[in-house]
Amino acid sequence: MLLAITREVSRSIVHCELTHLARTPIDVERARLQHAEYESALKRLGVAVLSLPEQPALADSVFVEDTALVTDEFAVILRPGAESRRPETQSIERVLAPYRELFHMEPPARVDGGDLLRVGKQVYMGMSTRSDTNAAEQLQEILKLFGYDLHIVPVTGCLHLKSAVTQVQDDTLLINPAWVDKSLFPGVKFIEIDASEPYAANALLVDDSLLYPISFPRTQERLASAGIAVVALHADELAKAEGALTCCSLLLRVF
Ligand code: CIR
């Protein structure tokens, strides 16, 4: 069974970190409704959702993806690049402990989960403003214990690697080639986003189903042409906080 760890949108989301976007008003209630729609979609797919309570003092805590890398064998508690986000890892560590052997990123390493794209035993790490080579070195040591390979991928123009590229099928990535270099993913098939929808590369693959924002119809059309149907969701309110679909859950296979 798949378990999704999620967290209620914080009332302080209006004070979230922003890197590439200008601050615009965020409607907390609307963000919560869209987040509930996301959790319901996961449940309809048969995923067990562990919805953690709001953390009023941690503005970005809905974006649980950034706190940990979870694989089938182990999890790494990360050290998020933005200092304001570091306390978010504590509660996630407690939740993950019963399910996985835990490793920890040690200071001064910095890496957000949004910069870690895992495809089978290949882990691609985005070098964004949130991640550094110290984290890459520590991660490589952990990954090699379990037979995973780490690939370093520079990212420009967006917050995280997964703003620019995510997995949409076993062997296929959805990518914005303006933000990340396709040649750094050898042997992989790609679908390119429509250039008029730069934020369209973040999709959440849940077994064989794909959760996808309703706001990118042209890219959705490209997915359809490739035979990929999506579960379309409203996600534009949290997008104002520079968050997308993968950011709002940690998925792990449990028993
Ligand atoms: C941040 O800047 O950290 C948050 N406002 C957005 C984080 C989005 N997370 C993700 O893409 N994994």
Averaged pLDDT in 10-residue chunks for the chain of 255 residues: 98 98 98 98 98 98 98 98 98 98 98 98 97 98 98 97 98 97 95 98 98 98 97 98 98 93
Using CA positions, which residue lies closest to atom 1 of ligand 1?
Answer: 17
- Is residue 247 annotated as a catalytic residue, yes or no? yes
Ligand 1 nearest atom to the CA of residue 160, by list position: 11
Cβ atoms within 10 Å of 28's Cβ, excluding its own: 15
158 lines ligand 1 (CB under 6 A): no
| Residue-level pLDDT at 189 | 97
163 Cα–ligand 1 center, Å: 9
Q: Exposure pattern of 33-69 as b/e (b: 16+ CB <10 Å)?
A: ebbeebbebbeeeebebbbbebbeebbbbbbbbbbbb
Place of tokens 């986000």: 85
Alpha-carbon span 227 to 204, nearest angstrom: 16
Give me the pLDDT at residue 18, please.
98
pLDDT given at position 255: 75
Beta-carbon contacts of 189 under 8 Å, excluding residues fewer than 6 positions away, are 169, 171, 172, 173
